[in-house]
Structure 1
Amino acid sequence: MPRLRSDFWVSAHLRRLGVEGIAAVQRRRGSPEAGAIFVKVDRLDGTADLFGPAPQSLIDEDSAGERLFVALMAAASPVDVEDRIAKELRFDGDLWIVEIDDRDGRHRLDLAE
């Protein structure tokens, strides 16, 4: 199954979060077809989480068409999360950034196991 384009996935995910009452914005637009997507979750208590694309080694045949994520940072300082995002941007200028503000840390991402 082919993977959904990044621009469609981000648009659909933002709509889903909005319907559920979770505040989220597209902070950076990357490559429409295949840009990597990173999601920052600001817990509004001085901590933040960062999620990024799951490595290919964690993706099995059954989920080949889905976008799976892994936690890159959890309960970290927002400054540290921003530093990590800056490093990722230096490595890949075509990435997307979605930012979520949610005290409960809700993100509705599919996580790799």
Structure 2
Amino acid sequence: MPEDRIPTHLWAGGVMRQLAMEGRPAYVLQKGDASGGMLLVKIALLDGNCHLKTQQRDLEGRLGWVSALKDDLLTETRADEYIRRAIDRDPDLWVVEVEDRDGRNPFDDMS
């Protein structure tokens, strides 16, 4: 884990507390490695569709957010299937679900 990166459990916990204070529903679906687990965010649009965002490093090593699959808009069923496969591949993965009709990723400004 790079020295300048906040441990995942602190980062996820802080965002979850902020969402709770704002009254925005959010759930930790999978706790991965406390220090360095990557994060997958499911953003439920409350209409049966969602966005699924994963972390990816750019050429300078900075973390950013990209769609986990080719399609940006997914059915929740398709996203849940992907999440199950991702956890099987990487048990250190953290998965957070956020309900937001506007599709905002609460981790976007905190990468």
User: Above 0.5 in TM-score?
Assistant: yes
Structure 1 distance, partners of 2:59, 2:12, is 20
Counterparts in 2 of 1:20 and 1:87: CA distance versus 1, 3 Å: same
Counterparts in 2 of 1:39 and 1:59: CA distance versus 1, 3 Å: farther
Q: Which runs of 4+ in 1 moved over 4 A?
A: none
Which of residues 51, 68, 72 in structure 2 aligns to 1:72?
Answer: 68
TM-score (norm 1): 0.81
CA contact (8 A) 1:22 1:106 kept: no
Structure 2 distance, partners of 1:41, 1:101, is 6
RMSD of equivalent CA atoms? 1.9
The equivalent residue for 1:94 is 92
Question: Which 5+ residue runs of structure 1 have no aligned equivalent?
Answer: none
Counterpart residue identity of residue 12, structure 1 = G
Q: How many residues matched?
A: 105
1:12 maps onto 2:18 in alignment: no
Structure 2 distance, partners of 1:59, 1:39, is 22
The equivalent residue for 1:60 is 60
Counterpart residue identity of residue 98, structure 2 = I
Partner deviation per Cα, 1:34-57 (whole Å, 9 max, x = no partner): 111111011110101101111x3x
Counterpart residue identity of residue 71, structure 1 = S
TM-score (norm 2): 0.83
Instruction: Report % sequence identity.
Output: 28
